[in-house]
Amino acid sequence: MLIYKLPPKKITAATKAKPATAQPTIQRGSTVTDKPATNLPEDFSNIVSLSKLPFLKHQRCLNMTIEQYKNGEHLNKKMCYIEFECTIYDIEKKIIEKLNEVKSKIPVPFIDNDKILIPLPIYVSIAKIISKDNEYLLNTTFEITKKFPNTFFEKYTFKGMMKIIIYIPNLMNNKDKYYNYYPSLDAYTNQNKWMEYMTSRSSYYLKAIDFYNYRTNNPIYYDNLLKKSLNNICLDFGCVSGNVGEDINHMRGKHGGSLYMPTKCLQSKEYSTPFYMNRDFNDLYSKSSEKGLKAYEERLEKAKKDAEKKNEKSEDEEAEEREKTEDEKNKEEEESIKASLSETLGYMGREGIDGNKINTSYNISILNDINSRAESSFPGIPEITFSMFKLDENYSAFSGLFHYMPWGNKLLNTEYVLNGGNTFFFEDTKFISKDKTTTQYIKFKSIKDNFYMEFNPDGILAIYNNDGTQNKIVPYASKNTLKNTTNKRIHYDSNLGIHF
């Protein structure tokens, strides 16, 4: 279970004099603490939630492997974006501050009533930042002198900091120094299309896909457990752990033990509930366990004896052993310690030592899920999760910040604009799961979504009202028909016009 170590909200004397609706701040100096830190997930939800932040309109979840996150696949260098960190108490305040910074970097701005305005829509992705906590180290609990950073030996906790990225898809990024409007509709549609991949719920970009490689008597319960856990993490405002990921070998049982015990961003607040693992191992990270220590020492001693038997070698093998580098010897010792500790933790979980017995069905099923994803060539095991939102432009605190583009507060994609030399396809392939696809029908729509264009039953290109009734035939298109085909498309040529 993820540990929440929320910092207290500190109020200065000046802040206390402000109206109750003022944004709380954390400042240095003489302060008065209005509430102590707690470790309850509910306390986080009382500060960071959609009800507390009503200007956030949830769009979708972004799930990334550590490599995808390191590579910045959630960022578009050609588009205006601002990445920053803030406390749980300053989310609204810092977003407004950063938006005002953007305004100051637009050399040719849109001005209305002497105010510089930013083009809509605006999107924001948010994730809790978790980090190493010296109070939660297995090295201390099990008296292990060797240090193994960035493994399951180090449990990361949430200390109240958030990672936030603001996306402004209708502004072009010029080396982060200033932001311009795009020069053409073609440029807008290209950049907006990337943003649509990031925000559309039907998009498979940076999405945890389904896996159905195993079955039980209740497949709804046991299938896709990792994806369900990731969705729960997303609803809890995501998680990012820098560039540090889970010890996947430990999670896959490569060290022995076969225990699902995440310590980085796969931790969830539901982990210890009966439906999930039915216990957490937080106490083992923060205080000693006599039974656990004894079990670990027994397994470590057995591993040493097994290694001694295995090391009864010939003279040539002994010479080869002497030639091993110090790093190779340390690696062998590390594997022995990890294996012994993994087996100990698995034993304690299955037997209910110093806590509840684990839910073995859930444990086995989610490990099967993780192994299936690890063995797949793409995309691997998603660990980093962001929750993506769209800003509500009508929120009172945003007054005087934004302006509408000619097409409104929406993304201008190829469903609205057909640029010269491009083709619009009315049918596309949609992935339902890793190996299952279906045909998706796409409408070529008017900017205000009042009408759409498609081929009528006679194969003639026509304009339809939103209620599905035909409005009229597209001029000059009645001589050409596309009937009984799965390759319906139109092509726009600046000289020849529309043809297909």
pLDDT digits (tens, 9 = 90+) for 312-371: 555 555 666 566 677 777 788 888 898 999 999 999 999 999 889 999 989 988 998 888
* Segment 374-389 mean pLDDT: 87
Q: How far is CA 464 from CA 44, 424, 435, 470, 474, in A?
A: 48, 17, 34, 4, 10
Q: What's the CA gap between 176 and 76, in Å, rounded?
A: 12
Q: Has residue 18 got a pLDDT over 90?
A: no
421: which 2 tokens?
């030399």
Mean pLDDT is lowest, of 60-69, 260-269, 289-298, 491-500, for 491-500
Give the residue-averaged pLDDT of 379-390. Answer: 93
Q: Does the pLDDT value for residue 397 go beyond 70?
A: yes
Percentage of residues of the chain with pLDDT beyond 70: 83
Task: Supply 339's token pair.
Answer: 């294996």
Contact 5, 38 (CB under 8 A): no
**Highest mean pLDDT range out of 17-21, 173-177, 388-392?**
388-392
pLDDT at 114: 86
Q: What's the whole-number mean pLDDT along residues 108-133?
A: 93
pLDDT band (50, 70, 90) for residue 224 = confident
Q: pLDDT grade, residue 102 (50/70/90)?
A: very high
pLDDT at 383 exceeding the cut of 90? yes
Q: Is the pLDDT of residue 442 over 70?
A: yes
Average pLDDT over residues 416-438: 69
446 DSSP β-pair partners: none
- pLDDT surpasses 90 at 389: yes
CB 49 within 8 A of CB 65: no
Residue ranges with strand state E in 138-261:
154-174, 178-180, 239-240
**For residue 497, what pLDDT is reported?**
63
Residue 34 has pLDDT above 50, yes or no: no
CA 51 vs CA 10, 163, 395, 413: distances in Å = 22, 19, 13, 31
Instruction: Give the sign of the dihedral formed by CA 148, CA 150, CA 155, CA 156.
Output: positive
* Gap between the Cα atoms of 486 and 427, Å rounded: 7
Regarding predicted confidence, which is higher, 341 or 29?
Answer: 341
Looking at every residue in the chain, the average pLDDT score rounds to 83
With pLDDT > 90 as the criterion, what percentage of the chain qualifies? 44
pLDDT in tens, 466-488: 888 999 888 776 667 777 666 77
Q: Which pLDDT does position 244 carry in this prediction? A: 93
Instruction: Reply yes or no on whether the pLDDT at 11 is more than 70.
Output: no
Number of CB atoms found within 10 A of residue 238's CB:
24
| pLDDT tens readout for residues 139-184 | 888 888 888 888 899 999 999 999 999 999 999 998 778 899 999 8
